[in-house]
């Protein structure tokens, strides 16, 4: 087997990225995402693309914030590992896989090939989440009316709520941020992300019962690709009452081997 050649792309060579058939036949996961050509890389054997990765970030970002497209051809896990290992950016890796992927042998094999390649580079699984897509045909469910959502212009209110929420959280990202930078660092990291999103600050909401103190926060947002639920958090003393229910895609955090 010939050696792997990793190639960074630009505007003129970007079409090379699309020469690898999608192993999961799930391009819909990236149908709205815009990747910069210079943040795309491919691994080739004998001139044929056998692995590829696309890094993603905001339009004004100097460096990407995540790898959100990574796949490998059948039997090319080693090439995928080389592609990730030699990249100039060591950031979180997000693998988007179709719903029900563990139950389809072909799809599961393709997904596990990506995981194998990522692990060989030093990545470790962090969290599994669900991706949701809403269309007008889905309609909008009725609100139960238990809570009232109000805009809140005071940043201090959100910072205090985040500090209380993160002080007793099971969220994998928040726990990692607390371990790395302490509670205040984790709070600031989330707060900075909300501000990084191009959606209006007026969308940030505090959830109140009909009577009484706030129970949590809800921050709908729009990232550079499209709408997202940036944050849903319930204060510790109000948990266990069904105020929020969330799950999430496969996320991997880089931990390069020694």
Could you read off the pLDDT of 175-223 as tens digits, one per residue? 999 999 999 999 999 999 999 999 999 999 999 888 888 999 999 999 9
pLDDT band at 27 (very low <50, low <70, confident <90, very high): low
Query: pTM for the whole thing?
Result: 0.83
Tell how strand 205-209 and strand 48-56 pair up: unpaired
Reduced DSSP (H G I as helix, E B as strand, rest coil) percent helix, strand, coil of the chain, to 5: 35, 25, 40
Task: Tell me which residue has tokens 């959606």.
Answer: 199
- 66-72 β-sheet, strand order: 5-8, 40-45, 48-56, 66-72, 92-95, 250-254, 123-128
- 29-38, 100-109, 162-171, 235-244 — which is least confidently predicted? 29-38
CA-to-CA dists, residue 119 to 76, 139, 252, angstroms: 14, 40, 9
CATH class of the 5-130 domain in this structure: alpha beta
Tokens of 100: 């029900």
The mean pLDDT of 162-177, rounded to a whole number, is: 93
Tell how strand 250-254 and strand 227-234 pair up: unpaired
The mean pLDDT of 51-74, rounded to a whole number, is: 93
| Per-residue pLDDT at 191 | 96
Handedness of CA 137, 221, 89, 108 (dihedral sign): negative
| Per-residue pLDDT at 250 | 41
């Amino acid at each position: 087997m010939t050696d792997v050649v990793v190639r960074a792309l630009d505007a003129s060579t970007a079409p090379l990225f699309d020469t690898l058939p999608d192993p999961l036949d799930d391009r819909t996961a990236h149908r709205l995402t815009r990747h910069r050509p210079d943040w795309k890389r491919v691994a080739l054997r004998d001139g044929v693309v056998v692995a590829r990765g696309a890094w993603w970030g905001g339009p004004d970002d100097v460096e990407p914030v995540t790898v959100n497209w990574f796949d490998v051809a059948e039997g090319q896990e080693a090439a995928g590992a080389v592609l990730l290992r030699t990249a100039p950016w060591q950031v979180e890796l997000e693998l988007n896989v179709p719903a029900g992927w563990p139950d389809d042998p072909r799809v599961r094999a393709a997904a596990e090939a990506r995981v194998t390649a990522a692990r060989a580079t030093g990545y470790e699984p962090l969290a599994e989440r669900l991706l949701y897509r809403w269309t007008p045909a889905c309609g909008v469910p009725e609100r139960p009316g238990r809570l009232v959502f109000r805009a809140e212009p005071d940043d201090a209110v959100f910072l205090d709520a985040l500090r209380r929420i993160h002080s007793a959280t099971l969220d994998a990202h928040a726990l990692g941020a607390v371990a790395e930078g302490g509670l205040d660092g984790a709070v600031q990291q989330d707060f900075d992300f909300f501000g990084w999103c191009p959606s209006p600050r007026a969308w940030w909401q505090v959830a109140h019962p009909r009577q009484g103190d706030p129970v949590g926060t809800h921050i709908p947002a729009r990232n550079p690709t499209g709408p997202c639920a940036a944050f849903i958090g319930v204060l510790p003393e109000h948990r266990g009452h069904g105020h929020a229910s969330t799950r999430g895609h496969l996320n991997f955090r880089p931990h390069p081997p020694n």
